[in-house]
Structure 1
Amino acid sequence: MSDLETKKQGGLGYLLDLASSYYKSKVLFVSTDLGIFSVLLRARKDVQTIAREIKLERRPVEMLLNACVSLGLLEKKEGLYSNSSTAEMFLVKGKPMYVGEAFQVLDRRSYKLWDRLKEAVKTNTPQAYLEGKGDLFEEMTKNKEEMHAFFRGLHALAYWPASSLARIFDFTPYRHLLDVGGGSGAYSIALVKRHAHLNATILDLPPVCKIAQENIAKENLSHRISTLPGDFFKDDFPKGVDIILFSNLLHDWEEKKIEHLLKKTFEVLPSKGGVIISDMVLSNDGTEPLYAALMSLTLLLDTHGGSNYTEEQYTRWLDGAGFREISVKPLSGPNGIVTGTKP
């Protein structure tokens, strides 16, 4: 029986769990923001100690801790709480895999935005930045603090799909990667660290390139990864690259703009040059994976025309641009890659 069939037969219990799912996410957001997982780093503590360390009263802290235990985020034994292995790896501030800043973005921004889902569905218009009436990315770059928080969160979340791509794709034939809309630089960093022969250029908006440069410098990779400030729709792609990557980018745009970018890609690449689309790839009926289907609604709320797309759509667009040897492979979680080669 498939997951979908199980859910259909779940009855009222399933509906109640679905209706209260936001309880769970809020427990995760609040516990992370309060630093509960950080104070439990490699430690077992009672509720009174934890409450004292985060400077709050015992009663609400105990309720929150017990909810975290129920969700598998904490463990409780003989009245002492400790982090689960997942919380210890991802929810302790300062650790390499810390994703708390991504959750802060979700809590502060996306959580409230989803309250306008009905309006977005009724009007087919994005609900972000209603006051400014501007494009999501144009408006975000006006707010330096929000932009930095947004890209710090994305940088942490991109680690797993970027590392998976570095492992499963054969970069041996290629020497210079163009990372279009490369954001924080997470993908370029992961790829050049694993493949010593590969260099990369990140093409993105000027304020975003500054963030990428900071991350590149932290990894001591400034001699192998450069940034190119610009507008990837309006500006020409640089010559001399032999593989072009779109990571978590094309989902922000409508079909015509995607076709435009893929045609630009085909034109600049040499023969045997490659293209990689790394994104959440939907099944051809558009219903799975679940997270990818839900993220399409986030894109409805956030963008003008964005959506997660299916294997068939990406394949058709690459074929229409002239690419051959097109293939689709899974990455980590709901992510996948669609690749093609210029004849």
Structure 2
Amino acid sequence: MIRTYEELLRTADAFTDSRTLIAGVELDLFTHIGKKPATAKEIARRADASPEGVEFLLNALTGMGLLAKSGERYRNTPLSRTYLDTASIQSITNFIWLAGQHWDDWIGLADAVRKGRRPKKRSPPDNPAFRRHFSKALHERSFYLAPKILRPIDLRGARTLLDLGGGAGSYAFALLVKYPELHATIFDRPAAVKVALAEAKRADLSEQVDVIGGDLFTDDYGGPYDVIFYSNVVHIYSPEENRRVLKKIKKALKPGGRLIIVEYFLDKDQAHPPDVSSFNLMMLLFTERGRCYTWQEATAWLKRAGFSRFRRTRVDGKIGILEATLKTARRKKPSPRRR
């Protein structure tokens, strides 16, 4: 929320820090430094980049607190060594790469508002290389969000889970650790589930995980499942497309099964929370028909699809959880016998 003149100026100028960080990651500067301090010339040679440009960038990153400098040598700070060096298992460089992919689109925001959505020129979502990179990026982000998001979710008694559009499986893996009796199936595009299989092996969860590579609208989800977990997918699609997916979800759930939707839900005024209305602009830029939806809109779809017993949870200023239970078919009363 912007309230003061200083905050207004800071927001207008915030892109400089963002672009500086992204450039450092795109050039792998933090990885080229690694564990040992190095000079700007040494780092430039490893990055195959201009010594002058690298020195300017290293100094800017030092000023931001992401590097430390002693004499002519630069070294990683504990923060950059943990999260920005690709050698670290906690690296989030794929997620920062994704922010860089979005950069050109954000520059065109005013044009998109003026002229409407247009076909995108960047790598298509079904490009396998893009999809692997994208899945890793979201996995890095979800890895840290999972404990907060999953805290209010209770899956005691459930045995089968479908993580629909689950990407690299971040949330499914966290649920498997929390509920060892659970078996998870991850459904996503073929390139994404390959990443999920590798991550499951790395997490020693391969025995509890199956994957299905397919298309959300045309391929079978398997099942029936006790629980379907559906995270951060609704905003990609139009209302009509979301209702189509809900029909398929209904077929894949056991009677009385639960659907858990994790989303960027808008309040009824569609302006709050502010983080979500800002995120909604991304849908204008990055999707063909998607947008963020209100709790009321999503609940109406679910009621129409045969769900009840709704529960809303706002996890933080941006993320919300909407849980619903699939109604069980009512038994017909036997007709009275004629004498």
Please state if 1:106 is matched with 2:99: yes
Separation of aligned partners in 2, 1:231 and 1:179: 14
Instruction: Please report how far the alpha carbon of residue 247 of structure 1 lies from its aligned counterpart in structure 2 after TM superposition.
Output: 1.2
Instruction: Name the counterpart of 1:148.
Output: 132
CA-to-aligned-CA distance 1:296-321 (integer Å, 9 cap, x gap): 22221221211122333333333333
- Paired amino acid for 2:98: V
- 8 Å CA contact 1:116, 1:127 repeated in 2: no
Counterparts in 2 of 1:66 and 1:332: CA distance versus 1, 3 Å: farther
1:213 counterpart (171, 187, 197): 197
Instruction: Name the counterpart of 2:4.
Output: 9
Separation of aligned partners in 2, 1:65 and 1:164: 34
- Paired amino acid for 1:156: E
1:124 counterpart (116, 119, 122): 116
- Paired amino acid for 2:10: D
Instruction: Please report how far the alpha carbon of residue 44 of structure 1 lies from its aligned counterpart in structure 2 after TM superposition.
Output: 6.4
CA-to-aligned-CA distance 1:39-86 (integer Å, 9 cap, x gap): 555666776776676566665444323433443434568887554554
Instruction: Name the counterpart of 2:253.
Output: 269
- Paired amino acid for 2:17: K
Which of structures 1 and 2 has the larger relative contact order (alpha carbons within 8 angstroms, sep 6+)?
Answer: 1
Give the aligned length: 327
Separation of aligned partners in 2, 1:221 and 1:334: 30
Larger mean CA deviation between 208-217 and 88-97 belongs to 208-217
Separation of aligned partners in 2, 1:68 and 1:286: 37
- 8 Å CA contact 1:73, 1:83 repeated in 2: yes
Separation of aligned partners in 1, 2:23 and 2:267: 34
- 8 Å CA contact 1:161, 1:332 repeated in 2: no
Separation of aligned partners in 1, 2:164 and 2:268: 25
Separation of aligned partners in 1, 2:64 and 2:309: 44
Counterparts in 2 of 1:113 and 1:339: CA distance versus 1, 3 Å: same
Please state if 1:256 is matched with 2:240: yes
SS in 1 for 2:102: helix
Instruction: Please report how far the alpha carbon of residue 257 of structure 1 lies from its aligned counterpart in structure 2 after TM superposition.
Output: 1.6
- Paired amino acid for 2:139: H
SS in 2 for 1:235: coil
Larger mean CA deviation between 197-206 and 49-58 belongs to 49-58
Please state if 1:95 is matched with 2:113: no
CA-to-aligned-CA distance 1:232-272 (integer Å, 9 cap, x gap): 22334423301011111111001122123224323442343
SS in 2 for 1:103: helix
1:222 counterpart (206, 216, 225): 206
- Paired amino acid for 2:125: M
TM-score (norm 1): 0.81
Q: What's the Cα RMSD here?
A: 3.0
- Paired amino acid for 1:335: I
1:322 counterpart (300, 306, 309): 306
CA-to-aligned-CA distance 1:148-198 (integer Å, 9 cap, x gap): 222221221221233334433111121111111222222222221332011
Separation of aligned partners in 2, 1:211 and 1:254: 27
Separation of aligned partners in 2, 1:69 and 1:281: 38
Separation of aligned partners in 1, 2:317 and 2:8: 24
Counterparts in 2 of 1:213 and 1:52: CA distance versus 1, 3 Å: closer
1:28 counterpart (4, 16, 21): 21
- Paired amino acid for 2:25: T
Larger mean CA deviation between 46-55 and 27-36 belongs to 46-55
- 8 Å CA contact 2:132, 2:191 repeated in 1: no
Larger mean CA deviation between 316-325 and 186-195 belongs to 316-325
- Paired amino acid for 2:89: P
2:265 counterpart (281, 293, 301): 281
Separation of aligned partners in 1, 2:178 and 2:189: 26
TM-score (norm 2): 0.82
- 8 Å CA contact 2:173, 2:200 repeated in 1: yes
Instruction: Please report how far the alpha carbon of residue 279 of structure 1 lies from its aligned counterpart in structure 2 after TM superposition.
Output: 2.3
Separation of aligned partners in 1, 2:272 and 2:149: 21
Counterparts in 2 of 1:74 and 1:327: CA distance versus 1, 3 Å: farther
SS in 1 for 2:265: strand
SS in 1 for 2:88: coil
Instruction: Name the counterpart of 2:337.
Output: none
Separation of aligned partners in 2, 1:101 and 1:299: 20
Instruction: Please report how far the alpha carbon of residue 89 of structure 1 lies from its aligned counterpart in structure 2 after TM superposition.
Output: 2.8
Separation of aligned partners in 2, 1:81 and 1:284: 50
Separation of aligned partners in 2, 1:208 and 1:54: 29
Please state if 1:310 is matched with 2:271: no
Instruction: Please report how far the alpha carbon of residue 295 of structure 1 lies from its aligned counterpart in structure 2 after TM superposition.
Output: 2.4
Counterparts in 2 of 1:117 and 1:57: CA distance versus 1, 3 Å: closer
Q: Structure 2 stretches of 5 or more lacking a match?
A: 328-339
2:160 counterpart (173, 176, 193): 176
